Structures are given as structure tokens and as C-alpha cells.
Amino acid sequence: MSEMKADDLNIESIETLMTPLQLKEQMPLEGKALESVQNARQSIFNILDRKDPRLFVVVGPCSIHDPKAAMDYAHRLKELAAKVDDTLCLVMRVYFEKPRTSVGWKGLINDPFMDDTFQIEEGLKIGRQLLLDIVSLGLPASTEALDPISPQYLQDLIAWSAIGARTTESQTHREMSSGLSSAVGFKNGTDGGLTVAVNAMQSVSSPHRFLGINKEGQVSVVRTKGNPYAHVVLRGGSSGPNYDSVHVAKAEQALEKGGVNQNIMIDCSHANSNKDPQIQSLVLKDVTNQILEGNQSIIGLMLESNINFGNQKIPKNLDDLKYGVSVTDACIDWAETERSILEMADKLRDVLPKRVAD
Ligand SMILES: O=C[C@H](O)[C@H](O)COP(=O)(O)O
Ligand SMILES: C=C(OP(=O)(O)O)C(=O)O
């Protein structure tokens, strides 16, 4: 009779990675870049505290797969950010970890070369270098906090984090968020349900004790203080969009009933645009009008945008990849991004300061 092992039945191998401390020593965040992250975080905290009348707009590719194109995008966004800085605080989406509905490429950290070699250590190095290059421009960066370990390697560079629709209900993600240094947005569930996000808000502001790793990579008990800068993100769901004024009013009621803050971000993409990028600008216009008509709860927006329009399947031969085109969700192109954001800033320039004063 063959003896069956008690563990590792389904484990092929386990490989030790460099520690968070080693990566940070190789690629330190210091000087102007550090200052830029601190200033961006403070701006977002001030917006959430209603001390800064601007809105923050998380805008950029659905996922990063080509660091060169990401820097091309970052330079454009930095230039645009300077033009609208009095009204909008622009934060680049620098998403390295993709939650998949079933299977698919899971992002630059998991498989940086998109060839199923899963060189995660390289992914962490490429990701950290790219974030350093972006924040060194003075442009804030945001990401989805999906893996509970990777924040130890990268979170010091992040000004805003998202918890995605597929993980808002997860205790692991709520615990992790309670210790993140950035503000964090919780999406409503993929079914459109907001209760999971309201519950997440109640959880994340509390201290938690849980298993994690320290900077030396040792398994540790992490004790958090609770994150005071969490808010909900309306992204629509299987029953349809939820960006309109009726859904926003219902969300305000649910947040009040749950005893949590009434800061709402609208994700113009995902189920709010039925994943059709062309609809994103219409959602943006609708939200702008809600604010013009007196809405007080909307403090931020999200747009999925890239250099070029649409998306592409990852080709077998990577030389066939089209430059600046998403390999995950379809995005609006740069011209549309620039036009929509400039238009929004123009419409809201005189209105937002009065909103805080009211
Ligand atoms: O934003 C990205 C996608 O909507 C999310 O990762 C799910 O993608 P999938 O349904 O293609 O797996
Ligand atoms: C995966 C994302 O969104 P959601 O969790 O809303 O599907 C995303 O913003 O990349």
C-alpha cells in the first residue's frame, strides 16, 4: 500500500523570494519621490475630509503590461494634471494585479513577461521601478490591493488603493486595508450589492490582528490601527449601472444607515459602462451634472484609459502586441481622456469651492 503524504499533495514547488526590505534597499523611496507620495496622500485625505474642495480622479490603463508605454502615459497625464490641478487631483491607475472572473493573465507581478513563466520576483522589481519612475515625475499612483503580501513590497509608493468588486467581502482584504497607509476605495459587489461595501467600511476602520509578513519576510502577527480613510466606489453590477442620481441617493442612505462616511467615488467603467469604453465619457458627464445640480457626496471618479482605444488579446507572438492598447478591459484613448477631463474641470472650476463652503 503506497503511503499518502499528509500535506503538499497539490504543491509543485515553493520558491523563496527576496524580502520586502531587500527590494526597498535596492530601490529606495526617498527625496522628492517620497515627498510626492506624502503630498498626494495628504491631498486625498483632505478631499475625503472636505478640507480640499477638489475631486480626485483615478485614471489610467486597466492593467500595466508594458512599462515603456506606462511611462509614455504617465508623462501625458502629468502634463494634463498640471492644467486641471486647481479643480481635479489626477491619480494614475498603475494596476499590476488583476482579479479574474475565472482564468486569464493575472497581471504584471504574477507573470511580467506574459509567457506563463510567472517570474514573480522580476514582476515585483519591474513594478517597484515603474512606480518609482511615476512618482518621481510628481504624479500620484494608485493600484488594486489584491494580493495580501505584495503591499509590503510596494504600498509605500501608493497614494490610493482599491479593493475590487470580487474581494470587498473578503475578510483578508478588509484586514489588510485596515493597515494600508493610503486611502482605500471599496467597490460594490459584482452583483451591484452595496451592503458588502458598507460592511467593509465598518470593518476597515477598526483595528485587526491577523497573519502577515514583516519587512524581513517572516510570517508575523500584524496588528493594525484601522484605516480612517476608506470610502465606497460605485461600479455598477450584474443588474446594471449605479452611477445615476437615484442610485447615488440610495447609496447615501445606505451609508448613513451603516454609520459610515458619505464619500462616494463613481467608477465610470466596468458595469457602469457595460464595459463599453465609449460610454465612460457619458457617465463622466452625468456625474459632472449631478455635482452641478448640488450633489455633495461624490468626491472622486475612476476612468479606464490608455494611449490607444479598446483592448487586445495577448498574442502568441508578443511582437504582435499593439502599442498602448489594454490587454484586459477596453479603455478610452488619450485624446478622449484629455478632452473629457478638461471639459469636466472647466464645468466644475467655480462650483467645487462653493460646495465645501456650503
Ligand atoms: O478590470 C478588470 C476586469 O474587469 C476584471 O479583472 C475581471 O476581468 P475578467 O472578467 O476578464 O476576468
Ligand atoms: C477589477 C477592477 O474593477 P472591479 O473590481 O470593479 O471589477 C479594476 O478596476 O481593475
Q: Has residue 232 got a pLDDT over 80?
A: yes
Instruction: Indicate whether this model's pTM tops 0.95.
Output: yes
- The three-state DSSP-derived secondary structure of 99-139 is CCCCCCCCCCCCCCCCCCCCCHHHHHHHHHHHHHHHHHCCC
243 ligand 2 Cβ < 6 A: no
Residue with cell 475565472: 102
- Tell me if 206 is assigned to some domain: yes
Closest atom of ligand 2 to 328 CA is: 10
The count of structural domains within the chain is 1
Q: What is the pLDDT of residues 96-150, one digit of tens each?
A: 999 999 999 999 999 999 999 999 999 999 999 999 999 999 999 999 999 999 9
- The three-state DSSP-derived secondary structure of 193-215 is CCHHHHHHHHHHCCCCEEEEECC
| Cα distances (angstroms) measured from residue 39 to each of 77, 87, 114, 150 | 17, 16, 34, 23
If you measure from the C-alpha of residue 100 to the centroid of ligand 1, how many angstroms do you get, rounded to a whole number? 5
- Tell me if 7 is assigned to some domain: no
CATH code: domain of residue 149: 3.20.20.70
- Tell me if 223 is assigned to some domain: yes
Across residues 35-52, what is the average pLDDT? 98
- Tell me if 12 is assigned to some domain: no
275 ligand 2 Cβ < 6 A: no
Closest-CA residue to 247 (of 276, 271, 278)? 271
Give the three-class secondary structure for 338: helix
The rounded percent of the chain whose pLDDT value lies above 70 is: 99
- Tell me if 5 is assigned to some domain: no
Q: What is the pLDDT of residue 1?
A: 57
Q: What is the pLDDT of residues 13-24, one digit of tens each?
A: 999 999 999 999
Cα separation, 102 vs 118, whole angstroms:
18
Closest atom of ligand 2 to 165 CA is: 5
- Tell me if 67 is assigned to some domain: yes
Q: Has residue 358 got a pLDDT over 90?
A: no
Cα separation, 286 vs 280, whole angstroms:
10
Mean pLDDT for the chain overall: 97
- Tell me if 3 is assigned to some domain: no
If you measure from the C-alpha of residue 34 to the centroid of ligand 1, how many angstroms do you get, rounded to a whole number? 31
Q: Are 44 and 229 in contact (CB under 8 A)?
A: yes
Cα separation, 306 vs 321, whole angstroms:
14
Domain that holds residue 320: 20-357
If you measure from the C-alpha of residue 6 to the centroid of ligand 1, how many angstroms do you get, rounded to a whole number? 35
What's the ipTM?
0.97
- Tell me if 58 is assigned to some domain: yes
Q: Has residue 256 got a pLDDT over 60?
A: yes
